[in-house]
Amino acid sequence: MEERIASPAKTIEILQSNDFQFLKKFGQNFLIDLHVLEKIVKAAAIEPEDVCVEIGPGIGSLTQALAERGKQVIAVEIDGRLIPILKKNLADYPNVTLVHQDFLKLDLKALLREMGVERPIKVIANLPYYITTPIIMGLYESGIPLSGMTVMVQEEVARRIQAGPGSKDYGALSLAVQYYADAYIAAFVPQNCFMPRPKVGSAVLQLTTHRQKPVSVKDEGLMFALIKAAFGQRRKTLVNCLRNAQQLDFSKEQVLAAFETVGISEQIRGEALDLAQFAALSDALTED
């Protein structure tokens, strides 16, 4: 087994020998805890035939572990300064393909097709806060065959995604992600596990893609518009949220009739509804 890149001493050696300076705009926080790295790999359940897509490999700490377990690793790194470092650190792993690209601008579906990848992929990433939601939702909405995601995110975001109805963390993001996947927090990660130390704690979030969506709905777009409107003004009743939403065009009578069809009170707030109820409400408002 090769020397572990993720050890604090090795990470410092690599950074110093390359005179590497962290750039805040990329949200760079490199993992330096081998126990946490093992928790990530365990949560991802990498099998010998798996194709892994890693977003933001940094200096290759996690990439190394993925390459030793999976068949192929496609590592997408936005910071061009890290590409030569990655090439050197991962020279002994021919199953790693480095891609210098902003993941949000990458046509991953085309790349996978070009590389002949046909099986569902596993995505692993340490995600900066500002791109967490666009990346997770973008991947699920893209239609790319995806068996699951294992992502390091801010603890607050992980709690929001995993939350259920009635909790303070429950919201539109919870429902959007849970429509596509089962979510659970595999580990909480303190700030001292990274270099440099982030200001807040993180969590390893495991998302296992549903083989079949948990609800059936006539119009996904309308359902998500209802969800967005429901949490746009959390203190207001759902009736008022739906009536005030610019993207919706339903009369109060239509909304109340739909509520009666679904069997929910006109005094209810959006945070009390689960995904199945939002789907039923959407169907009740959808013209046949």
What angle do helix axes 252-262 and 275-285 make, rounded to 10 degrees?
Answer: 130
Based on the domain organization, do 248 and 278 belong to the same domain?
yes
Q: Are 33 and 131 in a shared domain? A: yes
- Note whether 145 and 252 are same-domain residues: no
DSSP state of 120: P
Residues 193 and 242 in one domain: no
Q: Of 164, 176, 179, 163, which is closest to residue 212 (Cα–Cα)?
A: 179
Burial of 249 (C-beta count, 10 Å sphere; 0-12/13-18/19+): exposed
CB-count exposure of residue 219 (10 Å: 0-12, 13-18, 19+): middle
Q: At what angle do helices 172-180 and 220-230 cross, to 10 degrees?
A: 150
Give the model confidence (pLDDT) of 232-251 as tens digits: 888 899 999 998 898 899 99
Q: Which of 158, 272, 181, 174 lies closest to 224, judged by CA?
A: 174
Residue 214 lies in a domain: no
pLDDT digits (tens, 9 = 90+) for 99-137: 999 999 999 999 999 999 999 999 999 988 889 999 999
In Å, how far are 7, 204, 238, 271 from 126, measured between CA atoms?
17, 9, 35, 29
Residues 137, 275 share a domain: no
Say which residues have a Cβ less than 8 Å from residue 88's Cβ, sequence separation at least 6.
none
Host domain of residue 145: 8-209
Can you give the pLDDT at residue 1?
Answer: 54
In this structure, is residue 1 part of a structural domain? no
Whether residue 131 contacts residue 154, with contact meaning beta carbons closer than 8 Å, is answered with no
Predicted local confidence at residue 288, as pLDDT: 47
Task: Mark the ranges of the chain whose per-residue pLDDT is less than 70.
Answer: 1, 288
Cα-based angle 248, 249, 254 (whole degrees, multiple of 5): 110
**Residues 117 and 72 both lie in one domain:** yes
What's the CA gap between 40 and 28, in Å, rounded?
Answer: 18
